[in-house]
Amino acid sequence: GQNIDQPTEMTATEGAIVQINCTYQTSGFNGLFWYQQHAGEAPTFLSYNVLDGLEEKGRFSSFLSRSKGYSYLLLKELQMKDSASYLCAAMDSNYQLIWGAGTKLIIKP
């Protein structure tokens, strides 16, 4: 079956770095997405990886290892506004997104 695993909740300190891990199993693979979702709002796109390696975009970076079925989202210089849920989603061979349950990130001052 198809499955996405990510931690339910993480806590980090303002100004620090946090890494949110995601493992996936899908029928075929067409990329790995990370979305940010604040409470009561729709998800917003953060990153897309289809090749192995690290993609850096400002304070956020995303890493993919296709052979391991593994990705992580790295957030640097954490700000209070980064408190949100972070959703990992893998695209299968039919170009359908398989969603993780999301990781709630709590930032403390």
Partner 1 sequence: GAVVSQHPSRVICKSGTSVKIECRSLDFQATTMFWYRQFPKQSLMLMATSNEGSKATYEQGVEKDKFLINHASLTLSTLTVTSAHPEDSSFYICSARRGQESSEQYFGPGTRLTVT
Contact residues: partner 1, CB under 8 A: 30-31, 35, 40-45, 48, 50, 85, 87, 91, 95-97, 99-102
Min dist. Cβ of residue 75 to partner 1 (A): 19
Report in angstroms how near the CB of residue 23 gets to partner 1 at its nearest.
Answer: 16
User: Which CB, 45 or 109, lies closer to partner 1?
Assistant: 45
Number of other residues whose CB lies within 10 A of the CB of residue 49 = 19
Burial of 44 (0-12, 13-18, 19+ CB in 10 A): exposed
- CB closer to partner 1, 45 vs 58: 45
Q: How far apart are CA 81 and CA 55, in angstroms?
A: 22
